[in-house]
């Protein structure tokens, strides 16, 4: 079939993806992307040029000499991320059990951009989504560069999403497939893939998107994979303890965005030590006690104020977004496009809501919801769907 570079995180999804690709007859090259903090990983690999030669020289059914992956206990084993040394060891052993080449590649320099973005967004009173940026810049960015260097036709991951054939306006098969929701609604990850360049879709493979998570674990158990019952990743990989506020303060310094906590009518009710502790819609951990439930309804970059209000004050009927990316023809055309009905998600875990989307000049878009949506957070992505198909999206302003 084809040579495929598979991103292997050491989790059950990418591990079973390797099995599924092999069963389809593909030649699989497993790649562990070292892209976390230096204290969280201890992986090493030759430069891509050396990896290219090694992969070309290795028969499909044999694995070249192992790359050293020393184990470093650098974080709590109860937390699951995607780039620790133990994750790398899990990925290596899975690859070894399937006799596929495996390499750990240092993307730490590129990943520093993700960390800078993460800190910059919180400092600017926005709520970042580093997983989307990682997919855009690294997993389906730099990893394609590596795939080209080893002569691989495809890049594959363990995301729960699907690629479906499409037809053009004349009914002829289109070279660009549709990116669609995974069949497992509870695990669907199409939201975090909206920013991928549409031109790359024909070179992507998403083997687990047609399965439910329990099926994936059953396959892993049948294969006696060590990761069959491994917990899913829950934390941001470079903040494995979940305390992103402490991580940001450690990088940026204390009290850079400290300020007042106020109610929506301007009453000062407390002080806070940094905007990074808050996001729109937050109710718990506000640091103040009020007589009635209050939510974060606004974060002010210029004054560093955290504004609290009622749930009703959270509701928004429309939003605008910038830096849009479209995966269907038409929206990115120079001519204005008619508004289009869609389902829109304002966060990864939010339910899709009925809405109308309109493409605007300068890569912007406007979404008008049929019903008010709560906790619309600047910095998060809004992703629009036509049924299961991802139309595209942008970054909420």
Question: Cβ distance 375 to 281 under 8 Å?
Answer: yes
Residue 226 has a CB neighbour count (10 Å cut-off) of: 16
**Lowest-pLDDT choice from 122-126, 246-250, 263-267, 275-279:** 246-250
pLDDT digits (tens, 9 = 90+) for 305-330: 999 999 999 999 999 999 999 999 87
Strand partners, 271: 260
- Please compute, for residue 144, the number of CA atoms within 13 A of its CA located in the half-sphere on the CB side: 14
Angle between helices 244-252 and 108-123 (to 10 degrees): 100
Query: Beta 389-396 vs 316-326: how paired, if at all?
Result: antiparallel
Mean pLDDT of 41-47: 37
pLDDT for the residue numbered 68: 31
Share of residues in the chain with pLDDT > 90 (%): 70
For 192-233, list the strands marked E by DSSP.
204-205
Region of 35 on the Ramachandran plot (φ > 0 left; ψ -120 to 50 alpha; else beta): alpha
Per-residue pLDDT tens over the stretch 153-199: 999 999 999 999 999 878 899 999 999 999 999 999 999 999 999 99
Instruction: Give the active site residues.
Output: 134, 237
Alpha helices in 71-150 (DSSP H): 85-98, 108-123, 130-134, 143-149
What's the predicted TM-score (pTM) here? 0.86
Predicted confidence band of residue 335 (pLDDT cuts 50, 70, 90): low
Contact 44, 104 (CB under 8 A): yes
Q: Per-residue pLDDT for 256 more than 50?
A: yes
For residue 123 the two structure tokens come to: 């400092």
pLDDT of amino acid 71: 27
CA–CA dist 204, 153 (Å, integer): 9
Edge-to-edge strand list for the sheet holding 154-156: 102-106, 27-34, 3-7, 154-156, 204-205
Question: Cβ distance 157 to 10 under 8 Å?
Answer: no
Delineate the domains of the chain, giving CATH numbers in brackets. Answer: 3-159+206-222 (3.40.50.620), 255-309 (2.30.30.280), 314-396 (2.40.30.10)
Average confidence (pLDDT) over 212-219: 98
């Amino acid at each position: 079939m084809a040579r495929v570079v598979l991103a292997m995180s050491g989790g059950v999804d990418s591990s079973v993806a390797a099995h599924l690709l092999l069963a389809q007859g593909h030649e699989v090259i497993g790649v562990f992307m070292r892209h976390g903090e230096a204290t969280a990983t201890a992986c090493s690999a030759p430069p891509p040029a050396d990896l290219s030669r090694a992969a070309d020289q290795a028969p499909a059914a044999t694995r070249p000499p192992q790359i050293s992956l020393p184990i470093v206990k650098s974080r709590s084993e109860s937390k699951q991320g995607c780039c620790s040394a133990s994750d790398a060891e899990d990925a290596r052993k899975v690859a070894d059990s399937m006799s596929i080449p495996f390499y750990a590649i240092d993307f730490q320099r590129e990943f520093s951009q993700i960390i800078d973005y993460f800190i910059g967004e919180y400092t600017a009173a926005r709520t970042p989504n580093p997983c989307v940026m990682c997919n855009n810049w690294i997993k389906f960015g730099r990893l394609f560069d590596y795939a080209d260097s080893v002569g691989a036709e495809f890049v594959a991951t363990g995301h729960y999403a699907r690629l479906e054939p499409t037809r053009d306006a004349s009914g002829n098969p289109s070279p660009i497939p549709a990116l669609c929701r995974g069949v497992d609604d509870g695990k669907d990850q199409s939201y975090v893939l909206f920013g991928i360049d549409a031109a790359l879709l024909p070179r992507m493979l998403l083997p687990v998107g047609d399965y439910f998570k329990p099926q994936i674990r059953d396959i892993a158990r049948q294969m006696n994979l060590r990761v069959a019952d491994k917990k899913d990743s829950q934390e941001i990989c470079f903040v494995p303890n979940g305390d992103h506020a402490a991580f940001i303060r450690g990088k940026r310094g204390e009290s850079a965005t400290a300020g007042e906590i106020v109610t929506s009518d301007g009453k000062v009710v407390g002080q806070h030590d940094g905007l990074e502790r808050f996001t729109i819609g937050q109710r718990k951990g506000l640091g103040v006690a009020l007589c009635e439930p209050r939510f974060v309804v606004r974060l002010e970059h210029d004054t560093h104020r955290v504004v609290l209000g009622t749930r009703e004050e959270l509701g928004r009927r429309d939003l605008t977004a910038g830096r849009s990316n479209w995966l269907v023809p038409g929206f990115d055309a120079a001519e204005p496009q008619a508004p289009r009905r869609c389902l829109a998600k304002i966060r990864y875990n939010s339910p899709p809501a009925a809405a109308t989307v309109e493409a605007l000049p300068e890569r912007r878009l406007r979404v008008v919801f049929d019903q008010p949506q709560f906790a619309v957070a600047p910095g998060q992505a809004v992703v629009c769907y036509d049924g299961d198909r991802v139309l595209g999206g942008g970054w909420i302003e």
